[in-house]
Structure 1
């Protein structure tokens, strides 16, 4: 099986690479800098340099993947901030969040999805429970809320254009990474192990996927009751 991970230099992305390699799969993974690329190569992955915030960097992704059949692809890249609705976000903060969490995914999707279709595979986008519009209790992470809701909409809207690829939206949980902080209850290996099991359980040989077919799931496979 060939697995592709976008945003694999640390945290959940790096753990995905490690677990798939340990399972004997071939892994292609991206990092922004040479240190990240070296780490991936040393692990045994095929490393590609990619910065999802840079349109010039991401524009050549399809060319780098030319001829591949991707059984599973992951868009992991994401950033978080603690901003709330008590003050307006700066243009710079808004642009940074939306570039990484939404625009990067939207630019990567049409370059990666055709190679997922070649394998009739799965394209997984790591989202968040912060994307839910129903049941919001706080404005903490205000712009992050908006970015992940936008990501969900982008993925759902794109699914019918790639009927031979199965798209999934998965919340990895609150994970003990640089972004999740040391207070998080889930270890990266726990979250990733559950995500891999969830993705495998959702695998189907069906084609002709539509908007309504995109599941919005927690890491353990349980679906969210609302969007």
Structure 2
């Protein structure tokens, strides 16, 4: 039985990660920011923790809440989107909301969680996006989201040098039928998560710092 941590687990991809890992008999610690989310996780059989990754004061207590744990898998799934294109300047409020959740929260989580992943010789996965890839960017829609995910990629790729006993990877779930992806997306959340879990099970030390698509393709440039 593995111990799995899912950060940002109250709905969508995070919630499905919790469901699938529990179905396989793993122990799952999962975070949500409100009572409703915590109760949903508890009803599945997860061990819920209250955490708001957009609030540094909330994130600062994570290591204390996880004291003594060894994490075989840790996932940072929390994320928000703004869909405006490059002809619309983001407000400071919008910029802060997206960057705090997608980047700052991740950078505050990593130093607290990665020592526990190293203890288990485990893997840390951060949910990125194909929209983060600079070399192949096809459009300007959701440009703030694209910027935040490119920054997330850099944060994880850089952090791997300080945690050599863990494997740190970036995960592209594909275009998924979630609140963010919409009903018209081609991938069900179940199929996306099955692919992501297979990727996580296959990660080698040589993959550390790389962007990996949910079908197992390793990105050469991002």
Give the TM-score normalised by structure 1: 0.95
The 5 A counterparts of 1:81-120 are: 81-120=82-121
Moved over 6 A (4+): none
Please state how far the C-alpha of 1:214 moved relative to its aligned partner: 1.5
SS of match in other structure, 2:57: helix
Please state how far the C-alpha of 1:213 moved relative to its aligned partner: 3.5
Q: Deviations over 1:163-205 (max 9, x none)?
A: 1110010100010011111111100100000110111011x4x
SS of match in other structure, 1:147: helix
2:138 matched to which residue of 1?
137
Please state how far the C-alpha of 1:100 moved relative to its aligned partner: 0.5
Please state how far the C-alpha of 1:220 moved relative to its aligned partner: 1.1
Segments of 5+ residues of structure 1 without an aligned counterpart are: none
Aligned residues: 221
Q: Is the 8 A contact 2:158 2:209 kept in 1?
A: no
Please state how far the C-alpha of 1:45 moved relative to its aligned partner: 0.4
The 5 A counterparts of 1:185-204 are: 185-202=186-203, 204=204
Segments of 5+ residues of structure 2 without an aligned counterpart are: none
Q: Deviations over 1:87-123 (max 9, x none)?
A: 2111111111100100010011111111101101000
Please state how far the C-alpha of 1:14 moved relative to its aligned partner: 0.3
2:165 matched to which residue of 1?
164
Which of 201, 206, 215 aligns to 1:220? It is 215
Alignment RMSD (CA, Å): 1.1
Give the TM-score normalised by structure 2: 0.97
